[in-house]
Structure 1
Amino acid sequence: MIQSKISVFDILKVGIGPSSSHTLGPWRAAQRFVASLNKRCNSLTEVLVVNVILYGSLSKTGIGHGTDKAVVLGLAGFDPVEMPVDTLESVIEEIKNNKSLRLGGEHEIIFSMQDNIIFLMNESLNYHPNALAFQAFLRSGEEFKETFFSVGGGMIQKQDEKEIEEKSFVFPYPSDNATELLKWCNITGFPISTVVLGNEKVKMEEKAIRAKMANIWEVMLASIYKGCHTAGTLPGGLNVKRRAAEHNTRLLLNHQYHDVETWMQAIRKSGDGFQYTLAWVSCFALAVNEENAAFGRIVTAPTNGSAGVLPAVLLYYVVFCKGFSEESIFKFLLNAAEIGSIFKNGATISAAMGGCQAEIGVSSSMAASALTELLGGRPDQCLMAAEIAMEHHLGLTCDPIAGLVQVPCIERNTMGAIKAITAAQLAINGEPDLAKVTLDGVVKTMWQTALDMNSKYKETSEGGLAVNIPISLCDC
């Protein structure tokens, strides 16, 4: 069967916070526009002026999500995977102060973040609420313009092009939904992770897949560790205090350690019991999303706003569960990414399209399925866990205060992680054949709920907590 398929590495990718759709996606769109511009002109020296036009949700919450910074850094030739995060603010300040940037890192143009980034608060494009356009004026007098949509998880789509990829491949286990995935698991006797790996190997050698997965986990673990050791206040004006570092210190009871490995050993030695484990899962999730909110390096899973759920649940397994091996990390990430792709195919992973059910709900569903496999669950139990996790996130709105990925976003990752673990336990001890709701049924329901949801609850900061929590103008 010839088809295009969302890759594991479309769902899990390294980037910079605070938002995959509002930061990473626009950053990638800016990079792509510069590449198109260079191809069109043969040289960026032909460019005189570049304008950026933000529509819909990107306009309404763009400042809080760092969209303005992201497009500028993309235009200036920086990459979100490689750019040192500790240089980000100084680069932005230099561009602001000089009112110029080096387009593609090569050609200096006049650029004012105040004048050349245009926020169209009351205009949206039909295809997707996360839309932006780049407009370049050339020495020849010509105008060159491209429009992009940031469709969730850092993925972008240029106007009038195919959604995911142009190439098609022959996959051994083609599936776009849970029913088809389970069919292949039943036919082959393979767990979900093995089926997913079989499809991924069509595009990439297994050695390369494993190397990329190892890097994904390395970045996830680093974001937890850094978040657990960084105190202070998050940027943006809400003055939200970082809490993970305090939790880490209190829970460790003065145990000594000097790196990630000895830190995990200290966690195992410092306590036990349900409350202790629960506190650490919450701490892990807080740590990642505090890093995300501080423009740190994290992994979209499947988005930046929900980046803490997957690593928190995986580290829970590594630290507190028996049977851990390096292979279990590989299986966890493969399984989780496949569940994310099912939601991407059948609904959305964009909060601007579906509210926070599309972010925290999907990440919780991904983690629940992946954890179930590691705990010895069958594929049908994995899908049952994914369904349970999403079922109890249905209708969750996206209402960030001041457009910042801080309140309620950071705490919601702790809730998503705990629900994932609970869903896995229910599924492991459940009978999928007797379940009234299927994963495909809940995906369909999530999408219907997204379509019915009022736009003010879809990452616009025009409803919910964003309008009911009093904040003085000097705070933000």
Structure 2
Amino acid sequence: MNNSPITTSIFDLFKVGPGPSSSHTIGPMKAAFDFLQRIRQLPESIRQEANAIQVHLYGSLSATGKGHGTDRAVVAGLLGWQPESTDPVALLALLKDPTTSYPVQIGEKTVALKPEHIHFERKKYDSPFANTVVFELTSGGKPVFSEEYYSIGGGFIVRKGEETAEPSSANLPYPYQTMKELKNQLTVHALTLEQLMLANEMALTGRPAKEINQRIDLIMDFMHKAVRRGLRHTGTLPGSIKLRRKAPVLYQQARGLVQSSDSFLIFLNAYCLAASEENAAGGIVVTAPTSGASGVIPGLTYLARHHFHYDKATLRKGMWAAAAVGFLVKHNASISGAEMGCMGEIGTASAMGAAFLTYCAGKPIEAVEAAAEIGIEHHLGMTCDPIGGYVQIPCIERNAMGAVKAYNAFLLATAGTPANQKISLDAVIKVMKATGRDMSTKYKETSEAGLALSATEC
């Protein structure tokens, strides 16, 4: 566990960008963009000497990077593209022609980036994190400048030498590291959860409350646009699996069964599949907390908006509860599939979704904690074993299942007295971390075991 208070912004947890993977697409794109800025600041003599860029991918970036579009992502970043403003159609077009060379502008000259300059290194690499990418500016095949980055899940990156670099917590009015500490702050200062979270966000980012609220609304708008696009789009998803989209069919079924007791679940499944299928197609989604889990929270918030008819203020309250849970998992375990398996992605998203539903319903922090704990508890040990390295099977349906579990966790947590819950959220996060540490790397986003091997006919 980190020994400093949580300093993650809600807008770092919920980030807009192209699918299909926050750790394999958004993270490497951000790392490549950062490297581009650094080489542009090099002395003119070094830049004039250089003539190419080489990229080396390690860990699951190498194992499943092709299916996740990591090679396209690093090209995009080196071309100066950023996740939140990337055109997904243009992104998918990169590297279509293996003979294309991409000119990378570094000052007044350009250096070449060719497809063969991107190396998927399957050998083990000595690194503190599972997903590592090394960029080299080269002259005559020899490095003249290099940087090493780690993609640690959810689109978060760390540059070597800055592993401990975090925003300062000195000015946080209500610091906390655990749910126990968070609840204590709420009690001591007689605050609501959203009041505390908003005050910390204002101190962390310097943004006023009005702007923060508007940005949260905008994040939900991006989520719901992904749902709506997914409900409209039909056909086959990219990649060799040739998986057909299911969300539009489910949505039409739900509309035809509106008087049936099953329609509620069918609508929820359709919404979650819609956003997740958009992610699999490389569309614009919101990490929640990752791209691989970007169907759970959008599906639940869409349901809350259009079926429960919650207003924007209530939805924002729920988003703060979801963020609090996401922060706690990221800080004390990990949201990375390469570190935790799918319990780190869908498990966290389900817990966040359960907290969202519980707090929107006006329940106290004890019930929010119980719901989140139940959400994680019933994803413990879940593997990340995508077929073909694509974020499709089992990932898409797993988003829908995670949302259904979130709703059930909300029901279970509010059915009795939350104080009677035997396992705390802090305790289950510790178990989650230990489970991820003990899990074989074959089951952590490498496509080397599990469904990735048992369904090779796909």
Q: TM-score, normalised by structure 2?
A: 0.94
Quote how far apart the aligned CAs of 1:141 are. 7.7
Q: 1:435 and 2:421 equivalent? A: yes
2:301, 2:315 within 8 Å by CA — same for their partners in 1?
yes
Instruction: Indicate the residue corresponding to 1:461 in structure 2.
Output: 447
Q: How far apart, CA to CA, are the structure 2 residues paired with 1:294 and 1:90?
A: 13
Picking from 27, 37, 41, the partner of 2:39 is 37
2:163 partner amino acid:
K
Quote how far apart the aligned CAs of 1:188 are. 3.2
Change in 2 beyond 3 A, CA 1:106/1:67: farther
1:83 partner amino acid:
T
Change in 2 beyond 3 A, CA 1:449/1:185: same
Q: How far apart, CA to CA, are the structure 2 residues paired with 1:162 and 1:413?
A: 31
Instruction: Indicate the residue corresponding to 1:377 in structure 2.
Output: 363
Quote how far apart the aligned CAs of 1:225 are. 0.1
Instruction: Indicate the residue corresponding to 2:377 in structure 1.
Output: 391
Quote how far apart the aligned CAs of 1:78 are. 1.2
Instruction: Indicate the residue corresponding to 2:291 in structure 1.
Output: 304
- Compute the RMSD of aligned alpha carbons: 2.1
Structure 1 range deviating more: 326-335 or 455-464: 326-335
2:250, 2:269 within 8 Å by CA — same for their partners in 1?
no
Change in 2 beyond 3 A, CA 1:45/1:283: farther
Written as runs of structure 1 = structure 2, the 5 A alignment for 1:70-469 is 70-93=73-96, 96-103=98-105, 107-113=109-115, 115-138=116-139, 143-163=144-164, 165-202=166-203, 203=205, 204-253=207-256, 271-321=258-308, 324-469=310-455
Q: How far apart, CA to CA, are the structure 2 residues paired with 1:101 and 1:300?
A: 30
Change in 2 beyond 3 A, CA 1:69/1:380: same
Equivalent pairs, count: 453
Q: How far apart, CA to CA, are the structure 2 residues paired with 1:449 and 1:91?
A: 38
Q: How far apart, CA to CA, are the structure 1 residues paired with 2:49 and 2:219?
A: 39
Give the match's secondary structure for 1:228. Answer: helix
Q: Deviations over 1:202-260 (max 9, x none)?
A: 1221122122212211110000000000001111110000111122233334xxxxxxx
2:293, 2:346 within 8 Å by CA — same for their partners in 1?
yes
1:55, 1:125 within 8 Å by CA — same for their partners in 2?
no
1:77, 1:104 within 8 Å by CA — same for their partners in 2?
no
1:453 partner amino acid:
M
Give the match's secondary structure for 1:21. Answer: helix
Q: TM-score, normalised by structure 1?
A: 0.91
1:355, 1:398 within 8 Å by CA — same for their partners in 2?
yes
Quote how far apart the aligned CAs of 1:38 are. 0.9
1:76, 1:105 within 8 Å by CA — same for their partners in 2?
no
1:400, 1:407 within 8 Å by CA — same for their partners in 2?
yes
1:124 partner amino acid:
Y
**Identical counterparts, % of pairs:** 37
Picking from 7, 14, 17, the partner of 1:12 is 14
Quote how far apart the aligned CAs of 1:434 are. 1.2
Quote how far apart the aligned CAs of 1:370 are. 1.4
Quote how far apart the aligned CAs of 1:160 are. 2.1
Change in 2 beyond 3 A, CA 1:250/1:147: same
Instruction: Indicate the residue corresponding to 1:260 in structure 2.
Output: none
Instruction: Indicate the residue corresponding to 1:263 in structure 2.
Output: none
Give the match's secondary structure for 2:96. Answer: helix
Change in 2 beyond 3 A, CA 1:185/1:141: same
Structure 1 range deviating more: 34-43 or 155-164: 34-43
1:185, 1:379 within 8 Å by CA — same for their partners in 2?
no
Change in 2 beyond 3 A, CA 1:373/1:119: same
Quote how far apart the aligned CAs of 1:371 are. 1.0
2:198 partner amino acid:
L
Structure 1 range deviating more: 356-365 or 76-85: 76-85
2:382 partner amino acid:
L
1:209 partner amino acid:
I
Give the match's secondary structure for 1:40. Answer: coil
2:57, 2:120 within 8 Å by CA — same for their partners in 1?
yes
1:436 partner amino acid:
K
Q: How far apart, CA to CA, are the structure 2 residues paired with 1:2 and 1:132?
A: 27
1:385, 1:426 within 8 Å by CA — same for their partners in 2?
yes
Give the match's secondary structure for 2:84. Answer: coil
Instruction: Indicate the residue corresponding to 2:59 in structure 1.
Output: 56
1:314, 1:329 within 8 Å by CA — same for their partners in 2?
yes
